[in-house]
Amino acid sequence: MEILKKIFNGFTTILVLLVVILAMLLAGVRVFGIDIYTVLSGSMEPTYQTGSVIYVKDVDDPYSLTEGDIITFAISGGDTLATHRIIEVVNENGTVAYRTKGDANDMADGSLVSPENIIGKPIFTVPKLGYLISYMQTKPGRLFAIAGGALILLLVILPDIIFEDEDKKKEKKKAREREDEKNE
């Protein structure tokens, strides 16, 4: 019975650890000034695959960006973001702007990116994690997350409930044995 308890505790420890790692990947990185975004199109494949999550760090000096850098930026006049590679630094009348293009696209983007529209530079990616994030934003996904959290909590508490009787029996047996030894 003791071996079963150890296996169960090991399993739940690994499960909780995985949940903590996932939470750090999804929210904890924000503590370090990193934003996360889901890749919704294949314009940057194979560098960033559709469904991946990219982790984007602010650029200290957007004027220091060079050709070949990958940037995440707000498309002019909207809330839409894109992550594309800089293919040319344009300097017209002392104003700097960037011509960008998705790695999988045949043509450059239609408009230049001004430094004010730059969100940051991707620093790493986790493939396929974006699908999980998208699912978790749906009603069934939220219900699944709540049920999963409740299940993990139950799995953490369950060994104490199941094995408590066994531990009590062992303690009572040891107490009886000590009492018997005293009486002899």
Q: At what angle do helices 129-136 and 139-183 cross, to 10 degrees?
A: 100
The candidate with the shortest Cα–Cα distance to 81, out of 106, 44, 107, is 44
Catalytic residue among 41, 76, 111, 134: 41
Q: At what angle do helices 2-26 and 139-183 cross, to 10 degrees?
A: 150
**Helix %, strand %, coil % for the chain, to 5?**
50, 25, 30
Backbone φ, ψ for residue 67 (5° rounding): -55, 135
Instruction: List beta partners, residue 34.
Output: 57
The reply to whether 43 belongs to the active site is no
Backbone φ, ψ for residue 45 (5° rounding): -70, 145
The candidate with the shortest Cα–Cα distance to 74, out of 10, 131, 118, is 118
Catalytic amino acids?
41
